[in-house]
Amino acid sequence: MAEPLVTPDGRYLVVRGRLWRCSDPALPADRRQELVEELMAARRAKRDAGDEGAREAARARVDAAKRGLGERGPVWWDDGAPDLTRHLARTTGYAEWFEQQPDGR
Protein backbone atom coordinates (compact mmCIF):
# COMPACT_ATOMS: atom_id res chain seq x y z
CA MET A 1 0.00 0.00 0.00
CA ALA A 2 1.35 3.41 -0.96
CA GLU A 3 2.07 6.04 1.64
CA PRO A 4 -0.61 8.73 1.74
CA LEU A 5 0.15 11.90 -0.15
CA VAL A 6 0.81 14.76 2.28
CA THR A 7 1.17 18.42 1.31
CA PRO A 8 4.70 19.83 1.63
CA ASP A 9 3.73 21.83 4.74
CA GLY A 10 2.30 18.71 6.44
CA ARG A 11 -1.14 20.23 6.92
CA TYR A 12 -3.21 17.97 4.66
CA LEU A 13 -3.54 14.45 3.35
CA VAL A 14 -4.75 14.24 -0.23
CA VAL A 15 -7.39 11.59 -0.88
CA ARG A 16 -8.82 11.33 -4.41
CA GLY A 17 -7.63 14.87 -5.07
CA ARG A 18 -9.28 16.36 -1.98
CA LEU A 19 -7.51 17.89 1.04
CA TRP A 20 -8.13 16.50 4.53
CA ARG A 21 -6.53 18.12 7.57
CA CYS A 22 -3.80 16.11 9.27
CA SER A 23 -3.52 15.65 13.01
CA ASP A 24 -1.64 18.29 14.98
CA PRO A 25 2.02 17.26 14.89
CA ALA A 26 2.60 18.98 18.24
CA LEU A 27 0.41 16.46 20.09
CA PRO A 28 2.42 14.26 22.44
CA ALA A 29 2.63 10.71 21.07
CA ASP A 30 0.78 9.15 24.00
CA ARG A 31 -2.09 11.65 23.76
CA ARG A 32 -2.32 11.16 20.02
CA GLN A 33 -2.50 7.38 20.52
CA GLU A 34 -5.29 7.77 23.10
CA LEU A 35 -7.28 9.94 20.71
CA VAL A 36 -6.75 7.58 17.77
CA GLU A 37 -7.93 4.65 19.89
CA GLU A 38 -11.00 6.63 20.97
CA LEU A 39 -11.69 7.61 17.36
CA MET A 40 -11.56 3.98 16.22
CA ALA A 41 -13.78 2.87 19.12
CA ALA A 42 -16.26 5.65 18.32
CA ARG A 43 -16.36 4.65 14.66
CA ARG A 44 -17.05 1.05 15.65
CA ALA A 45 -19.80 2.26 18.00
CA LYS A 46 -21.34 4.25 15.16
CA ARG A 47 -21.21 1.23 12.86
CA ASP A 48 -22.78 -1.00 15.50
CA ALA A 49 -25.37 1.47 16.81
CA GLY A 50 -28.78 -0.11 17.22
CA ASP A 51 -30.81 3.08 17.16
CA GLU A 52 -30.57 6.72 16.20
CA GLY A 53 -29.74 7.85 19.76
CA ALA A 54 -26.74 5.53 19.94
CA ARG A 55 -25.69 6.59 16.46
CA GLU A 56 -25.81 10.28 17.41
CA ALA A 57 -23.84 9.62 20.60
CA ALA A 58 -21.20 7.78 18.57
CA ARG A 59 -21.06 10.64 16.05
CA ALA A 60 -20.43 13.06 18.91
CA ARG A 61 -17.57 10.84 20.11
CA VAL A 62 -16.05 10.77 16.62
CA ASP A 63 -16.28 14.56 16.42
CA ALA A 64 -14.69 15.02 19.86
CA ALA A 65 -11.80 12.72 18.99
CA LYS A 66 -11.20 14.43 15.64
CA ARG A 67 -11.25 17.84 17.37
CA GLY A 68 -8.77 16.56 19.94
CA LEU A 69 -6.49 15.39 17.15
CA GLY A 70 -6.74 18.80 15.48
CA GLU A 71 -8.47 17.42 12.38
CA ARG A 72 -11.57 19.53 13.04
CA GLY A 73 -12.24 22.79 14.82
CA PRO A 74 -9.67 25.57 15.01
CA VAL A 75 -6.60 24.99 12.88
CA TRP A 76 -3.40 23.99 14.67
CA TRP A 77 -1.11 26.26 12.64
CA ASP A 78 -0.63 29.89 13.58
CA ASP A 79 0.25 31.71 10.36
CA GLY A 80 -3.31 32.77 9.55
CA ALA A 81 -3.72 30.41 6.60
CA PRO A 82 -7.32 29.26 6.12
CA ASP A 83 -8.55 25.71 6.55
CA LEU A 84 -8.84 24.14 3.11
CA THR A 85 -10.27 20.82 4.28
CA ARG A 86 -12.49 19.25 1.62
CA HIS A 87 -11.21 21.57 -1.11
CA LEU A 88 -9.86 20.03 -4.29
CA ALA A 89 -6.08 20.34 -4.27
CA ARG A 90 -6.13 21.55 -7.87
CA THR A 91 -8.21 24.61 -6.89
CA THR A 92 -5.93 25.76 -4.07
CA GLY A 93 -2.42 27.08 -3.61
CA TYR A 94 -1.30 23.44 -3.71
CA ALA A 95 -2.35 23.09 -7.38
CA GLU A 96 1.11 23.32 -8.93
CA TRP A 97 2.60 20.92 -6.38
CA PHE A 98 -0.33 18.53 -6.83
CA GLU A 99 0.03 18.46 -10.62
CA GLN A 100 3.65 17.35 -10.23
CA GLN A 101 2.77 14.28 -8.14
CA PRO A 102 3.32 10.86 -9.73
CA ASP A 103 0.56 8.37 -10.49
CA GLY A 104 -2.07 11.05 -11.10
CA ARG A 105 -2.67 11.44 -7.40
3-class SS at 35?
Answer: helix
Helical pair 29-48 and 52-69, crossing angle rounded to 10 deg: 160
Digit-coded pLDDT (tens) for 2-61: 788 999 999 999 999 999 999 999 999 999 999 999 999 999 999 999 999 999 999 999
Domain of residue 51 covers: 27-70
Q: 82 and 48, same structural domain?
A: no
Q: 36 and 15, same structural domain?
A: no
Tally the domains of the chain: 2
Q: pTM for the full model? A: 0.88
